[in-house]
Amino acid sequence: MDKKKQEQPFKQLGERLRTIRQKLHESVAEVSGAVEIDEPMLQRIEQGRERPAEDILLLLINHFGMRDDEAASLWQLAGYDQPRPHDHDNQEDGNGRSAILVMAVDPRIIYSDGVQVTASNNGVVLSFAQASGTPNNLTTARIGMSREQAYAVIRTLQDALSRSEPRQLGGGSSNTTADRKDLS
């Protein structure tokens, strides 16, 4: 294998990511800031010298707003569609539980089953995660906001949840006397 190929094992992937970034007129600094990786790492990825971790590649795909077929192509270039030696045929996570990959019908919606909240005097960062069958969850999205916006989000969530609470129909031991009168 020639030396250049060894130095750039992910050359095609890097070139595609760089081309997408340039078409969107974004700098390395803007993209690395958006997906929260350092600029030298993004440069190594774009040069094909380093494969992005799965979560970083997902963040790049989401940041660029890529269609499913484009995203699948990048995923394949990164080699994540190939079984790895530590993968199991039965798709168990090592604890005897089956691992499930959830693909959203709407690519603009990212589903998560966990969130970590970091707050400081400057603002709040929500880090959404999805269980990935490994010791570390896969970060699916990170959202930063001011403290004022965070309080507004709390109020909006509370309002939406209170409007969507399931209604209780009469006819059980939980009915009050007033409920029973209305039913008779």
- Give the start-to-end residue ranges of the domains of the chain: 3-77, 114-163
Q: Report in angstroms the alpha-carbon separations of 67 from 74, 82, 100.
A: 11, 21, 22
Tens digit of pLDDT for each residue in 10-47? 999 999 999 999 999 999 999 988 888 899 999 999 99
Q: In 3D, which of 60, 97, 80 has the Cα closest to residue 10?
A: 80
pLDDT band at residue 58 under the 50/70/90 scheme: confident
Q: Are 29 and 39 in contact (CB under 8 A)?
A: yes
Most confident of 13-22, 84-93, 132-141: 13-22
State in Å, rounded, how far the first CA of the chain is from the last one.
Answer: 85
**Cα(102)–Cα(53) distance, rounded to whole angstroms?**
18
Report the DSSP beta bridge partners of residue 98. Answer: 92
- Reported pTM: 0.46
Specify the residue for token string 């590649």: 57
Are 94 and 80 a contacting pair, CB within 8 Å? no
DSSP states of the chain: --HHHHH-TTHHHHHHHHHHHHHTT--HHHHHHHHT--HHHHHHHHTTSSPPPHHHHHHHHHHHT--HHHHHHHHHHTTTTSPPTT--TT-B-SSSPBP-----SSTT----SEEEEEE-SS-EEEEEEE--SSSSPEEEEEEEE-HHHHHHHHHHHHHHHHHTPPPPPS-STT--HHHHHHH-
The pLDDT mean for the chain works out to 75
CATH, domain range 3-77: 1.10.260.40
The larger pLDDT score, comparing residue 49 to residue 177, is at 49
